[in-house]
Amino acid sequence: MKVARRREAMLKAVLSGMTEVAELCEHFGMSEATVRRDLRALADERLILRTYGGAASVSVHAPEESLDQRRQSFQAEKDAIGLAAAAHVAAGDTIFLDSGTTTAALALALSNRQDIHVVTNNLLAVPILAAGKVPVTLIGGEVRESSMSTFGPIAQLALTRITVDKAFLGADGVVPGRGLCEASAEQAYLKECVIRQAAGIFVLVTADKLNRDSQQHWAPIEKPWTLITDAASLHAGLHAFENVAGLVVESVRVLPIAVAN
Which residues make beta-bridge pairs with 167?
96, 201
The verdict on residue 261 lying in a domain is no
The answer to whether the beta carbons of residues 197 and 164 sit under 8 Å apart is yes
What are 113-130's pLDDT values in tens digits? 999 999 999 999 999 999
The verdict on residue 256 lying in a domain is no
Q: Which pLDDT score is estimated for 203?
A: 98
CB atoms within 10 A of CB 115: 12
**Domain check: are 138 and 156 in the same one?**
yes
More confident residue, 259 or 137: 137
The verdict on residue 260 lying in a domain is no
What are 130-169's pLDDT values in tens digits? 999 999 999 999 998 777 899 899 999 999 999 999 999 9
pTM for this one? 0.74
Q: Which of 95-109, 205-219, 229-243 has the lowest mean pLDDT?
A: 229-243
* CA-closest candidate to residue 223, choices 152, 150, 167: 167
What are 42-61's pLDDT values in tens digits? 887 767 767 666 766 655 54
Number of domains in the chain: 2
**Domain check: are 40 and 123 in the same one?**
no
- Last-in-domain residue among 57, 83, 101: 57
CATH code: domain of residue 25? 1.10.10
Q: Which domain holds residue 17?
A: 3-57
Contact residues for 22 (Cβ-Cβ < 8 A; gap 6+): 32, 53
Compute the average pLDDT of residues 166-185. Answer: 92
Q: Which pLDDT score is estimated for 43?
A: 81
Rounded-to-integer distance, Cα 57 and Cα 226, Å: 26
**Domain check: are 51 and 72 in the same one?**
no
